[in-house]
A and B are shown apart, each in its own frame.
Chain A
Amino acid sequence: MKILATIWKESILLVRDLGGMSLIFLMPLALVIVMALIQDNSFEIMQESRLEVLFVDEDADALGQRIAQALQASPNIHLIKNLKGRPLTAKTAERLVRAGDYKAALIIPEKASITLRKKVEETAGGLFAHYGFGSVTSSVKASPPIDLQILFDPAIKPNYRQALTGAVEKMTTSVQATWLMDDIQRRLGEATGRGGKTIDFSEMIHVRQNDASSDDAGGMALNAVQHNVPAWSMFAMFFILFPLAGNFIKEREEGSMLRLRLISGSQSPVIAGKFLFYLGVCLLQLVLMIGVGLYVMPLFGLSKLALGANHVGIVLTGLAVAMAATGYGLLIAVYFITPQQALSFGAISVVILAAIGGVWVPVFAMPPIMQKLSPFSPLNWGLSAFNHLFLRSASTAAILPDLAKLLFFSCATLAASLLIHRSRIVL
């Protein structure tokens, strides 16, 4: 009854505090959208999104086509063959890469296919001659290698350079092997009178790629929406201390807290009522922020928030973060005497905890010293749990350590708040 009465009273006070309402609901929504828009490009770069490669096909034959086909199939490479409706030349490509307009260019030289066919014939013929099935018609060594050229912008990241070189080498090796096998089969057919047999090299070794997620929902890369929605939701939830501490200290200064202390048995219900009310507000904030991620962010050209498959885990994490945020807000409220002290300390401390916790910049992008500090922030525990759930569809068991830390933090701050509140002299 007393707890419900306090929740009812707190709801009236908050609804009539338009500044507080906008601070905890409107501003975080604006903040999360702005931050996601600002960081969208940075995350794309960080996540090594598609590399644009200028493709100059001076060969205009089978080898060039096969390489182009293979690179186009790669999700991380975007081949550009024409610019302004005209086919690229080696000279133009070189100029554009040198100017830094593009990071890389691949040049397939003229007559590369013809040369490769000739080299294949020479190699197969030499092989057959070696085993007494014919004579060597020409010298393999006399023919120079085909000179495929990849031009790189010196500023390109090493992993881009490695990935493109690897892809081209893999493709050329495959073409060489296939063509060589075809030629050997043709020669064997001619010698034995039997037809050819198709050989699929991919059946010999199969490289399987699996995401190490806990179920079939798979995983996804971190992007601006996936990072910013949970990160700034938690930031907003911890900022609950503004209305919480503001109202609490105002009640103490104005005397209504004294009256409540003079009412027997009201202290625990007052604290519990405040805690539960602001817990509910925090959860409402989270729901709104997730709603923005799902329905509003796509309107701004951002990707839609992916929640993963463990919705129970999301509810538990939301609850644990809300409890930690409310407990922290209560501690600030009861500890400090004036609103100025409480709100200044509260705001700065939340900003620091958010920065350490990976809200502003993801932890993996922080310097090593900050990465060591990160596990001490409750916002990091929450963010870690949300990332497990959203990106990897983790099971509830996987996020239990983070939830346990958040719950411990909440219980500790709540207990400290009660002790300090009871020991305060009210005069």
Chain B
Amino acid sequence: MIQSPIITAFGLKKTYRGASKPAVDDLSFDVRQKEIFGLLGPNGAGKSTTLMMLCGLIKMDAGSMEVLGLDVRQNGAEVRRRIGVAPQEIALFPTMTAYENLVYFSRMYGLPGTAIRETVLEYLGVFGLADKSSQRVATFSGGMKRRLNLVAALLHRPQLLILDEPTSGVDVQSRRMILDYMRRLQAEGVTILYSSHLLDEAEKVCSRFVILDEGRRIAAGALAEILAANGGSDNLEQMFLHLTGRGVRD
């Protein structure tokens, strides 16, 4: 059964002041409920700009976007209230402990005081960080930081989760834990917009994709559709190199 779209983007365009060409140009895609949708592309493809427009933090020059049935231009604050975002950066306070970080973000999400401790401890346990809760984040490994970064986006139990390079710089075990948890969330009814340049990883977790290069959409759809439509490549990476060439992108 085809699910109704939870994100509808049409004709998005954004050019930064002083830039010679658009960061995002005429981009359209839609994300359905309860799917893991891949927003893929190399560095500088326009993925982060698209995500920030989606969150209402950057104004689009042209086009329209609806998230959870809300026009992002008019209801940016309400959109942000309902979504969870794990940025590419480790967006945490390094001199605070894991527990302190999560308590702080819980309070900023407006969680009731009685539920904060329970929620924080639950997530620390799920992501294997319970025994490290009183350690400062600065002392964490890359994988631990990345897991904690994800937890901070989940505290208010969002309907839509946006993950920007969620497995960047992590070890195999942490990657497995994060990807498994993404599937678990999907099973629980959460929609995930997964942004990455790791095409092989995306193939494993995403049901549909939009692939960007230099701000423009170069392919979109389910894996089989994309591969079939682009010369019968064996995988996304092969298809991507076929479409864009082997020159570096940044």
Question: Which residues in A have some Cβ–Cβ distance to B below 8 Å?
Answer: 1-2, 4-6, 8-9, 12-13, 16-17, 251, 254-256, 258-266, 269-270, 425-427
| Interface membership of B201, Cβ < 8 A | no
- Cα distance A262–B89 in the bound complex, in angstroms: 13
Q: Which of B96, B100, B107 is within 8 Å of A2, CB to CB?
A: B107
From B57, B91, B153, residue with most partner A Cβ within 10 Å: B91
Whether A259 pairs with B95 at a CB distance below 8 angstroms is: no
- Cα distance A13–B81 in the bound complex, in angstroms: 26
Residues of A within 8 A of B105 (CB): 259, 263
- Cα distance A55–B78 in the bound complex, in angstroms: 88
Whether B95 pairs with A13 at a CB distance below 8 angstroms is: yes
From A4, A6, A259, A270, residue with most partner B Cβ within 10 Å: A259
- The smallest C-beta distance from A237 to any residue of chain B, in angstroms, reads 24
28 A-B pairs whose Cβ atoms sit less than 8 Å apart in the complex: A1-B113, A2-B107, A5-B108, A9-B100, A16-B95, A254-B90, A254-B92, A255-B91, A256-B92, A258-B89, A258-B91, A259-B87, A259-B105, A259-B152, A262-B55, A262-B57, A262-B80, A262-B85, A263-B80, A263-B108, A264-B78, A264-B81, A265-B77, A270-B108, A425-B16, A426-B57, A427-B48, A427-B49
- Answer whether A254 and B87 are a contact pair too, CB < 8 Å, given A12-B95, A264-B78: no
Q: Scan residues 173-193 of chain B and give those whose CB is less than 8 A from a CB of chain A.
A: none
Whether B87 pairs with A258 at a CB distance below 8 angstroms is: yes
- The smallest C-beta distance from A206 to any residue of chain B, in angstroms, reads 69
Residues of A within 8 A of B95 (CB): 12-13, 16-17
- Dominant SS at the B interface? helix
- Cα distance A258–B90 in the bound complex, in angstroms: 10
Q: What class of interface size applies to chain B in its complex with A?
A: 20 to 34
Residues of A within 8 A of B153 (CB): 259
Nearest residue (CB) in B for A259 is: B91
| Interface membership of B229, Cβ < 8 A | no
- Cα distance A256–B90 in the bound complex, in angstroms: 7
- The smallest C-beta distance from B110 to any residue of chain A, in angstroms, reads 7
Residues of A within 8 A of B78 (CB): 264
Residues of A within 8 A of B113 (CB): 1
| Interface membership of B94, Cβ < 8 A | yes
- The smallest C-beta distance from B156 to any residue of chain A, in angstroms, reads 8
- Answer whether A426 and B52 are a contact pair too, CB < 8 Å, given A255-B91, A264-B78: yes
